[in-house]
Amino acid sequence: MYKLGWFSTARGKGSRGLLKAVQDSTTAGDLKAKIKFVFCSRDPGEAEATDVLLKMVRDYGIPLVTYSYRKFKARLGLTKPDAAGVLPDWRLEYDREVMARLKNFHPDLCVLAGYMLVVGPELCQKYNMINLHPAAPDGPKGTWQEVIWKLIADGTKETGVMMHLVTPELDRGPVVTYCRFPIRGKAFDKYWETIRGRSIEQVQKEEGENNLLFKTIREHGYIREIPLLATTIKAFSEGKVKITPDKKVIDSRGRLIEGYDLSREIDERVKGLLSI
């Protein structure tokens, strides 16, 4: 049985949906894999949304390990925001504490699903880790909210979802799988019209995440995340995709992979599930 580790900060329903989908697939036998542990970077009682996922994990009977990065920083007396683009020293120390807490687990693959910390080089080296990122390989970095606002601000015509190997460089490890989809056309054009002539700052101030263009882009991306994640895990569990000791992604014949485009397959799987 292929062994999975699961990392999450568990900030919302997206993280819960991904965990439920994979757990349901493993229980049903669709995925020949098992989640051996869930690690959360928040402790129980730290956030209501996180507590919902932690209860799910306990109800599934999956071993749960939590360790609050906020409390870790507070114990070190660190109160200022971290400098952008630089992995601070405390993150390396935090990762070492995480590894110590996970020392009895030996996963074949770890999945980052809503894990809101940049993973340091030691943790990346210890585990084979893949991350779900809500953009195409050449798209914006950051959280799904940051990605969508950037797409709108730039007037982008296409976006996507990808799974990539985790490296210390945020959202830029080697791509394993991805899908693309348009954000122009029948489902989107009427909402693009509603923001014509307004700056992105105006839209954010007046409507925020209730903006219908923002919500529609999120809907079309989110509904693709689960099938892309499940398809990727299945490929790893069946040996169709592997990670080498020097952290390269290869296929079953040992050839380097630059990312499988699963756009057509994922579109077929989500057909009929989207409001247009």
CA-to-CA distance for 159 and 247, rounded, in angstroms? 26
CA-to-CA distance for 18 and 53, rounded, in angstroms? 11
pLDDT-based confidence at residue 66 (cuts at 50, 70, 90): very high
Token pair 């120390």 is at which residue?
A: 93
Instruction: Kindly state the average pLDDT of the residues 41-64.
Output: 96
pLDDT at 271: 84
CA-to-CA distance for 220 and 18, rounded, in angstroms? 15
Backbone angles phi and psi of 12, in degrees to 5: -170, -170
CA-to-CA distance for 224 and 162, rounded, in angstroms? 10
Token pair 């409390």 is at which residue?
A: 71
What tokens were used for 47?
Answer: 């956030």
- Fold that domain 2-270 belongs to in CATH: Rossmann fold (3.40.50)
Work out the widest C-alpha separation in the chain, in whole angstroms. Answer: 57
pLDDT at 13: 87
pLDDT at 274: 72
pLDDT at 126: 94
pLDDT-based confidence at residue 161 (cuts at 50, 70, 90): very high
Map out the domains of the chain as residue ranges. Answer: 2-270
Q: What pLDDT digit, counting tens, does each position of 213-247 carry?
A: 999 999 999 999 999 999 999 999 999 999 998 88
